[in-house]
Amino acid sequence: MAIDKYMRERFFPHIWCPGCGHGIVLNNMLRAVDQLQLNQNEVVMVSGIGCSSRISGYVDFHSLHTLHGRALSFATGIKMSQPNLNVICPMGDGDALAIGGNHFIHACRRNMDLTAIVMNNRVYGMTGGQYSPLSGTGITATTAPQKTIDREFDITALSLASGATFVARTTAYHYKEMTSYIMEALQHPGFSVVEILSQCPTHFGRRNKLGDAPEMLQLYKQNTTRIGSEAKQNNPELIERGIFRQETAPEYCAEYEELIKRTQQS
């Protein structure tokens, strides 16, 4: 499958560390776009700041590299003005759940037709390995040499509670599953969240003695299971993968158009 046409090769080699899961995400996101045969000129990539956000610089779509945590705000403006466009937001721990957390929950609530791809590597990798709202307890980081005591956000649970109408979770190991979920999200007429567990061997893996990239990928295989599996019943500690919600609800841009028509007629 030729995905080279979707890349800005002049910006390669990329800045990601060897073994980073974000390259796997980029590959499979482009495969999803290619399999759906989306018009390249109708795809917009909006990102903030962080390792994950560099994706917008590597793809040959309309792209916008914005402020930290504000990707969804800019994406909202784009979608409101050009509702025909496919708007994708690659996000990381900070952009989605820390400085961008307020924007995230309200984007879920509004149900605008946007796709948020949240790469969960449990660390702030670009700035040196500080712990994040997704790290969880008992984690070693540059800002937690004696291990963390903060509990982590559950991205899927937060998305469901905030009203997102498509919510899925997968890992960098399950790459075919990833492509499938991103395709589903891109076709969904509402706010879509795809959480992808993405390994960071440099800062998270090394400090927490989880091994290199292949070993971390094996952990995703061993520590996750499909929703409702017998394995989950036998081992509640396993992380569930799959599509947690896929339902139809009024889409914000369409509702806004109806509001304009009603106002003009009154």
Domains and CATH numbers, the chain: 17-265 (3.40.50.970)
Q: What pLDDT, on a 0 to 100 scale, did the predictor assign at position 2?
A: 74
Token look-up 């990798």 returns 125
CA–CA distances in Å: residue 209 to residues 21, 55, 212: 17, 27, 9
Contact 139, 148 (CB under 8 A): yes
Contacts of residue 2, defined as CB under 8 A and 6 or more positions apart, other chains included, come to 34
The reported pTM is: 0.95
**One-letter identity of residue 77:** G
Handedness of CA 64, 202, 15, 117 (dihedral sign): negative
Q: What pLDDT, on a 0 to 100 scale, did the predictor assign at position 70?
A: 95
DSSP β-bridge partners for residue 120: 197
Q: Which among 172, 195, 171, 176 has a CA at the least distance from the CA of 32?
A: 176
**Spatial separation of the C-alpha atoms in residues 172 and 195, rounded to whole Å:** 10
Pairing between strand 239-246 and 224-226? parallel
Q: What pLDDT, on a 0 to 100 scale, did the predictor assign at position 152?
A: 96
Q: What pLDDT, on a 0 to 100 scale, did the predictor assign at position 266?
A: 84
Q: Which helix (H) or strand (E) holds 241?
A: strand 239-246
| Helix ranges, 113-251 (H) | 155-162, 175-187, 206-207, 213-223, 230-234
Q: What pLDDT, on a 0 to 100 scale, did the predictor assign at position 77?
A: 97
Pairing between strand 224-226 and 115-120? unpaired
Q: Give the chain's residues under pLDDT 50.
A: none
**Spatial separation of the C-alpha atoms in residues 217 and 196, rounded to whole Å:** 12
